[in-house]
Amino acid sequence: MSEMLSQDEIDALLRGTSDNAPTPKVETKVEEHLDSMESDALGEIGNISFGNSATALSTLLQQKVEITTPVVSEVTVDALRERYPTPHVALRVGYTEGIKGENVLVLTRGDAAIISDLMLGGTGENVDPESLDEIRLSAVQEAMNQMMGAAATSLSTVFAKKIDISPPLVEVFDATKNQTIIDRLELWDTMVLIEFDLKVGTLIDSTIVQIAPIEFGKQLVNELLNATTSSATPKVEAPKAQPVKQEAPKMEAPQPQAAPQVTPQVERQPKAMPEVAVSQAEFMPLHSPSAQEAAPANLGLLYDVPLNVTVELGRTKKSVREVLELSQGSIIELDKLAGEPVDIYVNQQRIARGEVVVIEENFGVRVTEIIQPHERIGIV
Please name the residues in contact with 51: beta carbons below 8 A apart, sequence gap of 6 or more. Answer: 67, 68, 154
- Predicted pLDDT at 282: 65
Determine the Cα–Cα distance for residues 79 and 175; give it in Å rounded to an integer. Answer: 10
Determine the Cα–Cα distance for residues 174 and 180; give it in Å rounded to an integer. Answer: 10
Radius of gyration of the chain, Cα coordinates, nearest whole angstrom: 39
Which H or E element spans position 315?
Answer: none
The answer to whether residues 99 and 119 touch, using CB atoms and an 8 Å cutoff, is: no
The answer to whether residues 140 and 170 touch, using CB atoms and an 8 Å cutoff, is: yes
Per-residue pLDDT reduced to its tens digit, 356-368: 888 888 888 899 9
Closest CA to 364 of 373, 352, 354: 354
Distance of CA 188 to the CA centre of its chain: 33
- Predicted pLDDT at 299: 62
pLDDT above 70 for 275 = no
Closest CA to 66 of 196, 210, 211: 196
Which H or E element spans position 361?
Answer: none
Query: Percent of the chain beyond pLDDT 70?
Result: 68
- Predicted pLDDT at 15: 57
- Predicted pLDDT at 60: 85
Least confident range of 147-156, 188-197, 276-285 = 276-285
What the chain holds in terms of domains, given with CATH numbers, is 20-230 (3.40.1550.10), 307-324+335-380 (2.30.330.10)
Determine the Cα–Cα distance for residues 336 and 356; give it in Å rounded to an integer. Answer: 13
Least confident range of 32-46, 138-152, 165-179, 270-284 = 270-284
Estimate the crossing angle of helix 134-159 against helix 36-61, to 10 degrees. Answer: 130
Mean pLDDT of 41-68: 85
Per-residue pLDDT reduced to its tens digit, 110-119: 899 999 889 8
pLDDT above 60 for 150 = yes
40-43 CB contacts, 8 Å cutoff, 24+ apart: 40/72, 41/220, 41/221, 41/224, 41/225, 42/70, 42/72, 42/192, 42/194, 42/217, 42/220, 42/221, 43/70, 43/71, 43/72, 43/194
Ranges assigned E (strand) in the chain:
65-76, 88-97, 101-108, 164-165, 169-173, 190-200, 204-213, 309-312, 342-346, 349-359, 362-370
- Predicted pLDDT at 172: 81
Estimate the crossing angle of helix 36-61 against helix 109-119, to 10 degrees. Answer: 40
pLDDT above 70 for 2 = no
Per-residue pLDDT reduced to its tens digit, 305-358: 888 899 988 889 888 888 888 888 888 888 888 888 999 988 888 889 998 888
Determine the Cα–Cα distance for residues 239 and 31; give it in Å rounded to an integer. Answer: 44
Query: What is the rounded average pLDDT for all residues in the chain?
Result: 75
Q: With bands split at pLDDT 50, 70 and 90, how would you rate the model's confidence at 102?
A: confident
Mean pLDDT of 124-136: 86
Mean pLDDT of 198-202: 90
Mean pLDDT of 225-241: 59
Highest-scoring range by mean pLDDT, 24-38, 47-61, 306-320: 306-320
pLDDT above 70 for 52 = yes
| pTM strictly above 0.75 | no
Q: With bands split at pLDDT 50, 70 and 90, how would you rate the model's confidence at 376?
A: low
83 or 280, which is more confident: 83
The answer to whether residues 138 and 145 touch, using CB atoms and an 8 Å cutoff, is: no
- Predicted pLDDT at 277: 63
- Predicted pLDDT at 297: 54
